[in-house]
Amino acid sequence: LSEFQYVLNKLYDLGYRGIDFSDAHIERPRESYELFKESPFFGVGWPRQYEVNEHNHYIQQTVIYGLISSFIYITFLAIIVSKIFGVLKKTLSYNSSGASLGILLFASTIAYLVYLNAAPGESPYCWILFGLSLAWSRYTVYSLRWNTNL
């Protein structure tokens, strides 16, 4: 978009002057898109991962592994969030003592998923957080069943 005069004129009208579109952060998506076009459904593969210097974890995973794997990965993350949220709703409705920990873990999980939009790679910390959140939800479900005869 930075090559279109219309876009440059609109940015100028909005008060943005002196924008340098040669910034590497702006050029990375174009390079990732070129790699993505080579194999959109199955990705370019793990051996070419270092060619993808993307600072968005989801785009990076899509380019490396393809749309099919990215769909499965995002579905998996959505299931994790929905399970934690479902247990949190039950915990809040029963005024359980673990509700405050659930709110913290749910908010941390959402925050980490948003952080991955600007993360250059994945760290093991997200899986530790997801595991702790799921462990809390599993323990809370058993605790609620024991105490409320669900």
Rounded Cα distance, 63 and 42, in Å: 9
- Determine the angle formed by the axes of helices 57-93 and 24-38, rounding to 10 degrees: 100
pLDDT, greater one: 136 or 126: 136
Q: Shortest CA distance to 31 belongs to which of 51, 11, 55?
A: 51
Task: State the chain's maximal CA–CA distance in angstroms.
Answer: 66
Rounded Cα distance, 44 and 30, in Å: 15
Rounded Cα distance, 35 and 76, in Å: 25
pLDDT single digits (tens) 106-126: 999 999 999 988 887 667 888
Confidence at residue 70, expressed as pLDDT on a 0 to 100 scale: 94
pTM of the model: 0.74
- DSSP for 6-52 reads HHHHHHHHTT--S--TT-HHHHHHHHHHHHHHH-TTT-S-GGGGGG-
**Residue 39: HSE in the Cβ half-sphere, 13 Å Cα cutoff:** 13
Rounded Cα distance, 76 and 89, in Å: 20
pLDDT single digits (tens) 31-71: 888 888 998 999 898 887 777 778 888 888 899 999 999 99
